[in-house]
């Protein structure tokens, strides 16, 4: 619906919803997240060096797999001599949330050449997705922001991995470097901005409860999907009742 050609600027092949200022803005805003990306990347690089995976493999993995959760999981499984199929199955499970993130992107890329969209999606990350949500919520629809944000995170994650792989065990207690709560805090901030009042309260609380419960009692990274399904179900019931 919003993919129509009207959005394409006439002279260039660059769509109007992907401007250089927005790319720059996305890059700049995301730089503050790079502290976390760098630290986690360095943790991964250092752990990979000290484990069974060679230091040489960690950088290509960060470049081409490019997913903190999947890479940490694979590292764990490789160190415990798990088979290839187990590693792939685990990777699929922790990566299913990306499908959900993709579902929310309808209308994000009006007039973009398909090749550019599917290249941009290769770098989709929780953080850049969440930041773009916040951006759209404040009325700025230019998805160039998402590109810039992806780029900044990519540099942080791969750069961090390289540093960790080179420094190896000299980093000392590498897990302490992983500033996990930084991303969580930013996500909460974005949520606070997105909150639309009473209509969101029940679905969101349901999602919180089901996600935490699933993580505690079932585990295996099902919590995102479980929380989303439960939250949407309550939201639909609520709207039908209203």
Partner 1 sequence: MDRLLLITMLGMVIILYVTRISGYALVRKMPASPALERVLDQLPGVTLVALVAPAVAQEGVAGLLAAVVVWLVVIRTNNIVLSMMTGVGIIALLR
State how far the alpha carbon of 171 is from the alpha carbons of 43, 49, 62, 181, in Å: 8, 11, 19, 20
169 is an interface residue for partner 1 by CB under 8 A: no
Told to check if 91 binds partner 1 by CB under 8 A, we report yes
CA pseudo-torsion sign 50, 53, 55, 61 = negative
Q: How far is the CB of 11 from partner 1 (least distance, A)?
A: 26
The verdict on 153 binding partner 1 (CB under 8 A) reads: no
Closest CA to 203 of 240, 238, 168: 238
Residue 58 to residue 22: CA distance in whole angstroms: 32
Kindly identify the residues of this chain, within the stretch 33-62, that bind partner 1 according to CB under 8 A. 33, 53-54, 56-57, 60-61
- Footprint of partner 1 on 4-33 (CB under 8 A): 29, 32-33
Cβ at position 113, least distance to partner 1 in Å = 14
Residues 6+ apart with CB under 8 A from 143: 17, 18, 22, 108, 109, 112, 120, 132
Query: Of 5-13, 16-24, 38-46, 87-95, which segment contacts partner 1 by CB under 8 A?
Result: 87-95
Q: Which of 46, 133, 147, 171 binds partner 1 (CB under 8 A)?
A: 133
Is 105 one of the binding residues for partner 1 (CB under 8 A)? yes
């Amino acid at each position: 619906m919003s993919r129509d050609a009207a959005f394409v600027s006439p002279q260039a092949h660059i769509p109007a919803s992907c401007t250089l200022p927005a790319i720059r803005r996305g890059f700049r805003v995301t730089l503050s997240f790079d502290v976390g990306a760098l630290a986690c990347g360095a943790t991964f690089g250092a752990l990979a060096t000290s484990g069974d995976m060679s230091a040489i493999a960690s950088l290509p993995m960060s470049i081409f797999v490019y997913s903190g959760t999947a890479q940490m999981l694979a590292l764990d499984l490789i160190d415990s001599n798990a088979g290839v199929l187990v590693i792939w199955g685990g990777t699929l499970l922790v990566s299913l949330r990306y499908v959900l993130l993709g579902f929310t992107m309808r209308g994000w890329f009006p007039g973009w050449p398909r090749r550019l969209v599917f290249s941009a999606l290769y770098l989709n990350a929780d953080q850049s997705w969440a930041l773009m949500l916040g951006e759209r919520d404040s009325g700025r629809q230019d998805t160039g922001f998402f590109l810039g944000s992806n780029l900044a995170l990519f540099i942080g994650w791969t750069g961090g991995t390289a540093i960790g792989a080179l420094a190896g065990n000299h980093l000392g207690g590498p897990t302490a470097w992983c500033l996990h709560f930084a991303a969580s805090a930013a996500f909460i901030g974005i949520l606070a901005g997105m909150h639309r009042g009473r209509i969101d309260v029940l679905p969101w609380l349901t999602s919180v409860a089901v996600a935490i419960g699933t993580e505690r009692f079932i585990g295996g990274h099902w919590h995102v999907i479980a929380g989303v399904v439960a939250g949407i179900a309550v939201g639909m019931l609520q709207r039908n009742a209203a």
